Amino acid sequence: MNSNNLHKKLDSWKKKHSSEISDIKESLFLIKRSPLTTIGLIIILLLVCVAIFAPIIAPYNPLEMHLDNRLSSPSKEHLLGTDELGRDILSRIIYGAGVALKIMLIVLAIDLPLGILLGLIAGYFGGWIDEIIMRMADIFMAFPRLVLAMAIGTALGPSLRNTMIAIALTMWPVYARLARGQTLSIKERTFIEAERALGSSNLKIIIFNILPLCFSTLIVRATLDMGNIIRIAAGMSFLGLGAQPPTPDWGLMISSGRNFLINQWWVPTFPGFAILLTVFAFNLLGDGIRDISDPHLRRGQG
Amino acid sequence: MQELLLEVKDLEINFYTYRGVVRALNGVNLRINKGEFFGLVGETGCGKSVTASAILNLVQNPGRIEKGEIIFKGIDILKMSKEEIRKDIRGKEITMIMQYPIAALNPVINNGEQISEALIANIDITKNEAEKRTIELLKEVNIPEPEKIARQYPHQLSGGMAQRVMIAMMLSTKPSLLIADEPTTALDVSIQAQVLNLLKDLVVKYNTTILLITHDLSVVAETCERVGVMYAGDMVEIGELKHIIDNPKHPYTRGLINAIPSEKRTKLQEIKGSVPDLVNPPSGCRFHPRCTFAKSVCKQKKPQMLEVEKNHLVSCYLYDGQK
């Protein structure tokens, strides 16, 4: 009786959202069809799991030092060896995944809303508001991103939080410009005129009609940027501007391990691989999502 | 007997472009009565659509309303504040359906939600009620399987279906005036007739008024009660349908009628010349360079509207002093 009811509810829910469900199914189908995207997605899912379950997976405490066991080569006890303070490199890489993902997510959580908001306002209202916002964006874009991030990071003082602020400050113009460009083209379309004819306010038009259409472009751009953010954050840490010891951060691990590259190659090499693999996976996924969101690939119109 | 709903008085609109000032509307006068099916005919670029957007005060940059009055239910719309027009006129009193229905629907919101959104925005109604009303509305515009269509997205519809959804959306708030800007131009001929008949039925059912804008005289002949003919930003002739079709007075209207293929005519007559550039419109009557009856006075002064018979106005010197 009860389960019957539940079934009915589920059925009606399925019916009501049939187009959304078929959309998701189609996306999954398209992802499966592209092996590179699948690989990227699997690596990222593994990475996320590793980051979440780090305390369970990691064989050792990443901060625990064993000065009697410094720089030991990969072995059964320490699969990827130990560093100059005798800490297990594998455990540090596993914990580092969380640090890298956290930086990326926080930067995007600042940049996406900020960029979208500014871009929508600039594109929709135009005029002097547009000029002010976009000239600010130009100023930020005039410098190479890493250089600007380093300058801001230095000015704010080296710490993980300041690194995130610095990277976020260098990235928002990209999203603002994209959102503005999209808004400019969308606001001229007929359905916006129809919406005006129905007496909708500017706010409603922006939120319900323009924002959803900007989204796909911005999401693609954000996935393509995920790898970049991790790379820049690692670079900042390498230069000593980001995470401070003893944080298990990949960039920091390379930085402190670079003196041992010749004789104890495993110390800097494995964190390097971790960065390589992560950035690579995010780029594969970004490319894949860009292809999938291309309407020509969908519905067999291509 | 008939109640006046909308009066456009001496409306002048200019567009300030790089090439110069485009004089799009040159003092247009128009009266639409309540419950009427009024047709506005003219070539592309003669100012039909600009008139329509002016009625909603949606003339886009670089266009500017220079002078004139648009009196709707006794109130001059052009004197209202932007916010007042948006809140009280657009959507509630006057709505508009467009030429390309699929483009006029938001591609990322499903059809049902678009209509219920419009309902919620303009009428005091709960979400559940709005969804129910949406299905009823879709039924009223003769959409088969309204529940299914409501869940679909605009790109899954045919042009005719999308136009019906549009009509349902624009009628949902029971406006007093529905502006239909070339509603059938993008549709197949067979669908055209269906949509026009639907509009005709809905005028009666909803007790509304329709201002139909088209370049197609046959569309007008099928539906309208009164017709206004526009040429290059001027209203040249207004009258009841039978006056315009059977007894056109203005040389331009005659030219239009003569250009329609029919059994009586073995050879089609075109109107000589082409539409003038509105940056430098011809002086006086804007039709005079193409008019076979042009006199010297035509070049000097714009002719006034003359009533040649009851409810039949013509702006032409041919009929000056006849009455």
Output the domain CATH number for residue B248.
Answer: 3.40.50.300
**Does residue A66 belong to any structural domain of this protein?**
no
Question: Tokens 């919101």 correspond to what residue?
Answer: B109
Is residue A261 within a helix (H) or strand (E), and if so which, with residue range? none
Asked, for residue A13, whether it belongs to a domain, the answer is no
Which of B56, B108, B109, B174 should be substituted to probe chain A, the one whose Cβ sees the most A Cβ atoms within 10 Å?
Answer: B108
Is A14 part of any domain? Answer: no
Question: Is A155 in the B-facing interface, judged by CB distances under 8 Å?
Answer: no
Pair (B184, B262) in one structural domain: yes
Q: Average pLDDT, stretch A10-16?
A: 78
Token digits of residue B146: 């309204």
CA distance B24 to B48: 10
pLDDT band for A123, please (50, 70, 90 cuts).
very high
Does one domain contain both B128 and B67?
no
Q: What are the start-end ranges of the H helices in chain B? A: 48-55, 82-84, 111-122, 127-140, 146-151, 159-171, 189-206, 217-223, 241-246, 251-258, 296-300
Alpha-carbon distance of B319 to B323, in angstroms, equals 8
B51-76: average pLDDT: 88
Residues B8 and B89 in one domain: yes
Name the residue facing B90 among A18, A190, A196 (closest C-beta): A196
* Domain shared by B168 and B120, yes or no: yes
Map tokens 């540090």 to a residue: A92
| Chosen domain end from B230, B246, B274 | B274
Would A137 be classed as within a structural domain?
A: yes
Which of residues B117, B152, B174 is at a domain's end?
A: B174
Structural domain includes residue B285: no
CA distance A206 to A195: 11
CA distances from A302 to A31, A269, A295, A299, B224 (A): 16, 44, 8, 8, 44
Q: How many angstroms separate the CA atoms of A245 and A258, rounded?
A: 15
Per the domain annotation, does A251 fall within a domain?
yes
Cβ–Cβ contact B103 with A under 8 A? yes
Are both B89 and B198 inside the same structural domain? Answer: yes
Dist CA B229 CA B40 (whole Å): 6
| pLDDT at res. B221 | 87
Domain of residue A138: give its range: 33-59+78-300
DSSP string over B180-241: EESTTTTS-HHHHHHHHHHHHHHHHHHT-EEEEEES-HHHHHHH-SEEEEEETTEEEEEEEH
Q: Is A22 on the interface with B (CB under 8 A)?
A: no
- Could you tell me if B184 and B87 lie in one domain? yes
Q: Is residue A149 very low, low, confident or very high in pLDDT (cuts 50, 70, 90)?
A: very high
The answer to whether A23 faces chain B, any CB pair under 8 Å, is no
Rounded to whole angstroms, how far apart are CA atoms A177 and A171?
Answer: 11
B146: preceding bond cis by omega (within 30 degrees) = no
**pLDDT higher than threshold 60 for residue A145:** yes
For residues A4 and A14, what is the distance between their CA atoms, to the nearest angstrom? 15
For an interface test with B, the pick among A17, A191, A301 (most B C-beta atoms closer than 10 Å) comes out as A191
Q: Give residue-wise pLDDT tens across range B195-241.
A: 899 988 888 888 899 999 998 888 888 888 899 999 988 899 999 99
Q: Would B283 be classed as within a structural domain?
A: no
Say how far apart CA B71 and CA B94 lie, in whole Å. Answer: 13
- Residues in chain B with CB shorter than 8 Å from the CB of A21 are none
The answer to whether residue A70 sits within a structural domain is no
- Gap from B56 CA to chain A (nearest CA, Å): 7
Are both B132 and B76 inside the same structural domain? no
Contact B103 A195 (CB under 8 A): no
Q: What is the pTM of this model?
A: 0.79
Measure A206 CA to nearest chain B CA, in Å: 12
Do B88 and B114 sit in the same domain of this protein?
Answer: no
> Does residue A218 sit within a domain?
yes
Single out the residue in B157, B174, B191 at which a domain terminates: B174
Is B311 part of a structural domain of the chain? no
Residue of A nearest to B178 (CA): A197
Say which CATH number the domain at A203 has.
Answer: 1.10.3720.10
How much is the average pLDDT of B140-156?
Answer: 89
Q: ipTM of the assembly?
A: 0.79
B87 and B133 inside one domain: no
Instruction: For residues B140 and B262, state if they share a domain.
Output: no
Give the residue-averaged pLDDT of B111-120: 89
Residue B146: is it exposed, middle or buried by C-beta count within 10 angstroms (0-12/13-18/19+)?
A: buried
Mean pLDDT, rounded, for B237-266: 85
Interface size A-B, in CB pairs within 8 Å, comes to 69
Same domain, residue pair B210 and B267: yes
Whether pLDDT at A173 is above 90: yes
- Contact with chain B for residue A203, Cβ under 8 A: no
Determine the structural domain holding residue B145 and report its residue range.
103-174
Least confident of A20-29, A82-91, A260-269, B113-122: A20-29
Whether residue B35 is found in the same domain as residue B156: no
Number of structural domains, chain B? 2
Strand partners, B11: B28
Tell me how many domains chain A contains: 1
Does A16 reside within a domain? Answer: no
| Residue A114 sits at the chain B interface (C-beta within 8 Å) | no
Mean pLDDT for chain A overall: 87
